[in-house]
């Protein structure tokens, strides 16, 4: 069973579609889904989804969430907008801070504002001990510089939708971070990323969809209009191919890594069950 450690079910999904989307995930063999925060408005909707579906289990995947403000939103929000995170982190089903980071590729928001917002969220992670979900694009050096200014936990979180090459893997995993591979891993031209997936340490690899974005290659050819958690299987299959693993081995490794990257998941029964399934 496979895990989608990063999706946004509040973007391009209507509330009445979500039960179907979550059931599709279980039918495809997806055991756990992490709903990632995007901004305060979308966080509220994410919390509503968690309230509606609980922690999953049964005919649903295990569910949990994160809270954060995406760098694309840095012109709309500033450091003071994360003040309410503290109260929300008391929820048992909120297990990380993010996504947060720097995006100097799209440059949708002013870079100084992106850095201010990123610093505020990294500082909160350092203070609270929560892992970070990091978005970093065309901003590798600056991302690392900022992270190195803080006293982060031993396992400080994940570089989601890992998009750098094999050389940067050593730096990121050396700092204790996990690297998460998304649907772009399946793109034939993404050769640098393929090398990175071959090289990443076995105990640092995660899988995700970044739904509704990054539709994997075969799903794209089927003219699927948006990515959803069920599509993480195609990425896990591609990862298996690169590593020479069976899909079962990949999913066991990724399940254990997910629980280690986000230790609070072990307090949530359907996620703890995943851990027991792998240990058995
Ligand atoms: Zn995302």
Q: 93-132 pLDDT, tens per residue?
A: 999 999 999 999 888 899 999 999 999 999 999 999 999 9
Residues in contact with 57: Cβ distance below 8 Å, sequence separation at least 6, in sequence order: 269, 270, 273
Please tell me the distance from the alpha carbon of residue 18 to that of residue 211, in angstroms, as a whole number.
12
Q: What is the mean pLDDT of residues 13-29?
A: 94
- Banded pLDDT at 58 (limits 50, 70, 90): confident
Q: What is the mean pLDDT of residues 133-153?
A: 97
How far apart are the CA of 209 and the centre of ligand 1, in A?
A: 9
How far apart are the CA of 14 and the centre of ligand 1, in A?
A: 18
How far apart are the CA of 141 and the centre of ligand 1, in A?
A: 20
Options 3.30.70.1140, 1.10.10.10, 3.20.20.140, 3.60.21.10; CATH of 2-279: 3.20.20.140
Please tell me the distance from the alpha carbon of residue 87 to that of residue 72, in angstroms, as a whole number.
24
Which pLDDT belongs to residue 276? 87
Which pLDDT belongs to residue 279? 66
Which pLDDT belongs to residue 224? 84
Report residues near ion ligand 1: CB below 5 Å.
Answer: 210
The residue among 68, 28, 16, 45 whose CA lies nearest residue 209 is 28
Which pLDDT belongs to residue 70? 97
How far apart are the CA of 280 and the centre of ligand 1, in A?
A: 32
> Please, what sign has the CA dihedral across residues 49, 55, 60, 66?
positive
How far apart are the CA of 83 and the centre of ligand 1, in A?
A: 21
- 185 phi and psi angles, rounded to 5 deg: -65, -25
pTM of the entire predicted model: 0.96
Judged against a pLDDT cut of 60, whether residue 280 lies above it is answered with no
């Amino acid at each position: 069973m496979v895990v989608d450690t990063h999706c946004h079910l509040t973007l391009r999904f209507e509330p009445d579609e979500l039960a179907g989307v979550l059931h599709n995930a279980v039918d495809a063999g997806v055991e756990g889904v992490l709903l990632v925060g995007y901004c305060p408005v979308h966080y509220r909707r994410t919390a509503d989804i968690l309230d509606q579906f609980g922690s999953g289990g049964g005919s649903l995947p295990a569910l949990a969430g994160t809270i954060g403000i995406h760098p694309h939103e840095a012109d709309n929000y500033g450091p003071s907008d994360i003040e309410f995170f503290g109260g929300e982190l008391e929820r048992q089903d909120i297990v990380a801070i993010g996504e947060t980071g720097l995006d100097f590729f799209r440059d949708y928001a002013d870079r100084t504002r992106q850095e201010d917002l990123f610093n505020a969220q990294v500082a909160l992670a350092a203070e609270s001990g929560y892992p970070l979900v990091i978005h970093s694009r065309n901003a590798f050096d600056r991302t690392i510089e900022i992270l190195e200014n803080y006293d982060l936990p031993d396992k400080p979180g994940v570089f989601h939708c890992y998009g750098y090459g094999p050389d940067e893997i050593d730096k990121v995993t050396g700092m204790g971070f996990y690297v998460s591979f998304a649907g772009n891993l399946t793109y034939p031209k993404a050769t640098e990323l393929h090398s990175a997936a071959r090289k990443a340490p076995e105990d640092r690899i995660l899988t995700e969809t970044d739904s509704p974005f990054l539709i994997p290659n075969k799903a794209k050819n089927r003219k699927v209009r948006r990515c959803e958690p069920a599509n993480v299987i195609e990425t896990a299959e591609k990862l298996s191919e690169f590593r020479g693993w069976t899909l079962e081995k990949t999913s066991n490794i990724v399940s254990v890594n997910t629980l280690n990257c986000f230790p609070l998941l072990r307090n949530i029964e359907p996620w703890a069950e995943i851990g027991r399934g792998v240990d058995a």
